[in-house]
Structure 1
Amino acid sequence: MQESFKRIFIGTTFFTATLVVAVVGYGLFGWTLLDSIYMVVITIFGVGYGEVNPLRTPSEKIFTIFVIIAGTSSAVYTVGGFIQMIAEGEINKALDSHKKNKDIENLKQHIIICGFGRMGQILAHQMQEARQPFVILDRDSIRISQAEALGYLAQIGNATDEEMLQAIGIEKAKILATVLPDDAANVFITLTARGLNPKLKILARGEFPTTEKKLRLAGADEVVLPATISALRMASLITRPTAIDFLETKEERRQLNELLSHVDVQIDELAVPVGSPFVSKTIRELEVRGKGGFIAIALRKQDGTIVRNLDHNTLLEKGDTVIVMGHQGDIPQFARANELKSKLRYRGSQVG
């Protein structure tokens, strides 16, 4: 493409220079400006109206031959640049399309993302970060262009069409995520995908809770309800801010989930109010008083600072909040016995 632009630039420059030199040359032969311009135009473009003034001397004839050759050549050269640019564009499109089709054909154990809206974009970004092979299917050409601009493998088409799902390798895929905002379309896609690949794991989006049953009957393994999750998340931020902040740390959350997957535990916030017997006591003393029923895993100071790497010899101050993990029932009982306020309860099965 750069070569064609260069060719157009050179051709246009030479053609312009030819016009200027030709007009000046005929002016030197004693022609008027209008006659010179008219002569140049009919000579270069081959109109064939004849000379404006007779060409009497050999120099006038030779100069006119030069104008014809230079003007025609530069015009043809410039037009050739435009044709080359168009041809290269079409060829590049064909090559890109062929390469994309080959890349899709070579996919296996990949993830199919149906829909490149807000959820699809976030999902694709996460899959790219996790280096998971995936392909996007959407019928909106603008969204497909956006996906390809980000370097994603994407195909335009209707995800409810069996042929389109087969074209992106559904038989070899391991997961299909249908995240369209249309529940009916997600149900139909799920049903179609399940018929094409019984072993495929299907994750489906549902806008309404009543759709979950339909999606599962259609063959979805997991159903995600964004509205419900968002509402619960907002409620958690309002009612349980300390634990949410703590759990949002990826590494600590991963380690915590490993522990919670093996035992039935809960996470509570224990506030240390004014007048609490634990003011000026260490975290270790708090754990000892709990008789092994829980362990402290984080501390939130009164100013909002969260201390995650605890020193168990740290002294508690009024207004502190201790995040503890222990067996279900032990922590609330301890809080009641020691006049501590228990703010939060997460059971192990609920932490994602």
Structure 2
Amino acid sequence: MKNLKLIIKIIVLLTIIEIICFSTAVLMLSRFEHLSFFNAYYLAAITVFTVGYGDLYPVTQGGRVAVIFLLFSGVGYISTLSSMITTLLVEGQVIRIWGDKLMMKKISRLRGHVIVCGLGRAGSSAVEQLRKEGLPFVGIDSSEIHCKQLEEQGDPVIMGDATEDSLLERAGIEYASSIISALPEDADNILITMAAKDLNKNIRVVSRSNRRENEKRLYRAGADWVITLGLTGGSRLAMAAVKPATVGFIQNLLDWSDHELRLEEFLITEESALTNRSVADSKLRELYGAQILALVRNEKTIANPDPAEQIINGDIIIAFGTQNGLNELAKQSGVACPLKIVKL
């Protein structure tokens, strides 16, 4: 990038110098050769581009000096310009810069997307799940290899330090619904959490933690959900040993791309026909083949709700059912996936 800017500056400077030299030569030819401005310009042009048709040529000493002046300045300028353009094209910088501009234009149009900071094993797994869910996302990583892998799949990605506010702003954090901080260092995840909440107070922050003692720090920084990778993996190993069928069933639900059944969550608003109805009266099973597993109300989870439990405005329903049935439910007025709601 720095080389490109330097080359552009040199090209601009040489172009300005060449315009001055060319204009001076045209005036000299017009004066010494007694030519009209057009003919003087024509003679200067065929000299610079080394065409030389022979229909016009200098006959005075002053005109010949002007032509010599043009040969050194003009031909040198054309050769240097061609060399620099060739260098840019060979190194692929022009194509890369153009691709970056198209990428940023694509990112600027995103709304309600997810930003994934860190594209290592944890971040790549998150990206894969978001891709399966069909949710828009932007990846950020300092590794050129990780960024290239995502870019080759046609996904928007930005290379750089995710802890910098300017990079998060380029990723459209103002209009993002969630951010996943999956960097290997807890200190970096804390910085990203604080920056994300500062730039977008409504964003949902999900952060990775490598040490148990840093969970509280991440929550204090503003994280909405913290996952300690080592502890989560150990718990899953133990559960797989004791209750393999249960763990397998839950894993199949999470990896729903190969299965008809899936889990989904829906935010119920006052416009919904489900508002102020009991779980039994909602008839989600009859109409959509969906089963309510839990209600989330004011950050409190009501697991396996009683059939008489009322669904009220602001509740989040965690439902289990077929993909087609849940998609139909999501189309109903007043029912939406919380992740797809953008607060501006």
TM-score (norm 2): 0.49
TM-score (norm 1): 0.48
Rg comparison, structure with higher value: 1
